[in-house]
Chain A
Amino acid sequence: MLWNAKEISLYLKEKAYIDTIIVPLLPISFSDRTKQEAEQAEFITLLTNLLERQFKGRMLLVPPFTYLSEEDAQHRLEKLQKWIQEFESRQFDHVFCLTSDSGWKEFESDLDGKLIWMPSIPLEHMEEKYKRKIVDDQVNQLVKLIVQKWQTN
């Protein structure tokens, strides 16, 4: 489900079936990393949207967790943990945080397996056909990973 009025009303009606949340983690800054971050945002947004399409009936795609890259990492982590706690208290048994920002990697253990880090692929100059193929491959990997997590508990 997407975070819009029409699909959320379906969510409210069918709550029992929707137990998974996906959160894109997107950094923002105006520095030498700006372009890279824009590219990450494009890639992660595309990926999460395709995933949502695949798993529409069990997965809620919430608005991205956006933060300034300069922001203190510890502070950012606490804030994300609050988000996760809130989701878990609302009967979302599976929370997945998808990002290309390598800054999160050191917190992998703090996030308890909920972090999925994907290296961002520069799609900007790519031909439409290859773009689709590459992104499809990435989505398929994620699909497998998520189905696996669903089956383990």
Chain B
Amino acid sequence: MSNQRVSRRQFLNYTLTGVGGFMAAGMLMPMVRFAIDPVLTAEAGGDFITTGTSEDELSDTPIRVDFTFEQVDAWYTSDVTNTAWVYLDEAGEIVALNPTCKHLGCTVSWEGRESDPNRFFCPCHNGLYEKSGKNVPGTPPTAPLDQFEARVGDDGILQLGQVVPNKIV
């Protein structure tokens, strides 16, 4: 034992400060966590989905890339498969177009009609889009095809993200 005596008053002071400190921390920590939460999620980045296609397979001709992700819709969880048409533009940038027709939501395909080479074709109402996704005037679609955010992961595999309005038209 040290020869310094701890008085009853001191002992109670120390204990109460310690316990009180823990209680205050217990209350404050979640509050601070909530307050900085948006910052933390932003760091985690948008949710990109890894496809089964590597960067080497891409060329200036659009290819069809299917990718699957889990979608929670109310009380159903289901695997949803989406499709993108992916190619490299003149600058070598990846362009990933969402094949959902801007007219009524059918699925368009690259060179889907023989009489229209180098265009996307919608079989439902003969809608046409240029390679850039720009809608051809005189056909039913009223807006260019949407794009997926696209990037290449460290492993050289193509990753696709959110649907965004067409940025190249």
Contacts and interface: CB of A to CB of B under 8 A. Distances in A.
A53 interface: yes
A57 B101 contact: yes
A91 B12 CA distance: 87
A71 interface: no
B139 to A, nearest CB: 13
A87 interface: no
Nearest to A143: B123
Contacts of B124: 17, 55-59
A57 B81 contact: no
Contacts of A54: 106-107
Contacts of B167: none
B104 interface: yes
A55 B106 contact: yes
A93 to B, nearest CB: 13
B105 interface: yes
A132 interface: yes
B105 A56 contact: yes
Interface in B6-53: none
Contacts of A59: 124
Contacts of B125: 17, 57-58
A65 to B, nearest CB: 24
Tell me the interface secondary structure of chain B in the complex. loop
Contacts of B140: 17
Nearest to A151: B123
Interface string A50-86: 0001111111000000000000000000000000000
A134 interface: no
Contacts of B106: 54-58
A53 B123 CA distance: 12
Nearest to A20: B124
Contact of A147 (B101, B104, B123): B123
A14 interface: yes
Given A55-B106, A57-B105, A132-B81, 7 more contacts: A17-B103, A55-B124, A56-B105, A57-B122, A58-B104, A58-B125, A150-B123
22 contacts: A14-B104, A17-B104, A17-B124, A17-B140, A18-B104, A54-B106, A55-B106, A55-B107, A55-B123, A55-B124, A56-B105, A56-B106, A56-B124, A57-B101, A57-B104, A57-B105, A57-B122, A57-B124, A58-B124, A58-B125, A132-B81, A143-B123
